[in-house]
Amino acid sequence: MEDETRKPRMLEQRIQSQYDDLPGSERALADLILEFPGDLLVYSATELSERGGVSKAAVTRFVKRLGYQDYREMQREVREAQDAGEPIYLNTGLLGSTLGRTRLQQHLDRDIANLRQTFELLNPDDLGEVVDRCVAARRIWVLGFRNSYFVAAYLRRQLIQVRSDVTLVPAPGQVLMEDLAGATPEDLMIAVGLRRRTPMLGQAMKVVRDLGVPIAYITDRVAVTTPKLATWTFPCQVRGVSLFDSYVAVMSVANYLCTEVVAAAGESGRARLGRIEDLMGLAGEIDPGN
């Protein structure tokens, strides 16, 4: 009998341990399952292959590669995890019947579900540690590429209102490592990595980690390799009802983090906010009547 003690017990851990070595078809299945592992109880092996756009043979190979005898054994492990109350396995990507629901209503349903599923899995202690670090750090580096860049820019814009030395990287047209060369262990990096991620994201996170800088990572549920580089990881549900991912939960997490930093910054944060408002008034940068 094969020694099960050498394998991670839960499906999600098994996938993550094998992820880097998976061929393309099996990686598509891995991404599908990592997002909502509880949905495995709803789909047959054939239905899973159809949803993943792969052959049923690919499903069989994938199941065997993870160390299960067959698909039913994998489903049984998911059922046991649900019975034990594991929240990741209780979440589902299925919104129920869409009968009579307009496309607009389905869109709203998905965004609400994404918010709920994201916040149910957040670790309040981890969030508290990141908030404290945001206040105490010498400098905060905020990193993002592609669609993650605007979330990173939002984080920088909010944090700079209550503390100085918050740097958004990469700067347009600049070389990233020229900025990061100044990073120290007294700093903090907030990295945003939403699918589809560039190779440079992981490379930058590795450089920063090796410099001793702690990393708070806002990402999605299917990220596998980059979370290993982070000190704290906050996975968000981003599934949309159409072609585009939904970033409602991502922005809500970012907003919550910044709001808590304002509270933790205390009088110094409020004083900085006041100075900024005074200067904007003197410069006429804000039109209150517009």
> How does pLDDT run across 270-281, given as a tens digit for each residue?
888 888 888 887
> What dihedral do alpha carbons 176, 122, 128, 9 form, nearest 10°?
-90
Residue 181 lies in a domain: yes
Q: What is the pLDDT of residues 153-185, one digit of tens each?
A: 999 999 999 999 999 999 888 888 988 988 999
99 falls within a domain: no
In a domain? residue 13: yes
User: pTM, whole model, 2 decimals?
Assistant: 0.75
In this prediction, residue 222 carries a pLDDT of: 84
pLDDT bin (cut points 50, 70, 90) of residue 96 is low
CA atoms of 13 and 227, how far apart (whole Å): 13
Q: How far apart are CA 114 and CA 238, in angstroms?
A: 7
CB within 8 Å of 50: residues ≥ 6 apart: none
Q: Which residue has the higher pLDDT, 163 or 42?
A: 163
Q: Answer yes or no: do 149 and 269 share one domain.
A: yes
- Of the residues 90, 111, 130, the one at which a domain ends: 90
Whether the CA torsion 159, 191, 233, 186 is positive or negative: it is negative
CATH number at residue 78: 1.10.10.10
Which is nearest to 189 in space by CA: 197, 198, 199, 179? 179
**130 lies in the same domain as 85:** no
Alpha helices in the chain (DSSP H): 11-18, 24-35, 45-52, 56-65, 71-83, 87-90, 103-121, 124-136, 148-159, 176-180, 199-210, 248-283
Give the residue from 37, 68, 90 where a domain finishes. 90
Residue at 85: amino acid letter: G
- What percent of the chain has a predicted confidence (pLDDT) above 90? 55
Same domain, 142 and 65: no
Residues 169 and 253 in one domain: yes
Alpha carbon distance 43, 220 (integer Å): 23
Do residues 155 and 275 share a domain? yes
Are residues 83 and 222 located together in one domain of the fold? no
* Side-chain half-sphere CA neighbours of 126 within 13 A: 16
Q: 48 with 137, same domain?
A: no
- Residues of the domain holding 147: 122-283
Instruction: Assess if residue 154 is contained within a domain.
Output: yes
Which pair of tokens denotes residue 213? Answer: 């800088």
pLDDT band at 98 (very low <50, low <70, confident <90, very high): low
Whether residues 32 and 168 fall in one domain: no
The domain spanning residue 163 has which CATH number?
A: 3.40.50.10490
Q: 230-259 pLDDT, tens per residue?
A: 999 999 999 887 778 899 999 999 999 999
The amino acid sitting at 216 is A
Residues 138 and 10 in one domain: no
Residues 173 and 84 in one domain: no
What is the DSSP code string of 116-146?
HHHHHH--HHHHHHHHHHHHH-S-EEEEE-T
Confidence of residue 5 (pLDDT cuts 50, 70, 90): very low
Same domain assignment for residues 24 and 131: no
Provide the number of structural domains found in the chain: 2
> Same domain, yes or no, for 25 and 137?
no
Between 279 and 149, residue with greater pLDDT: 149
Give domain status of residue 196, yes or no: yes
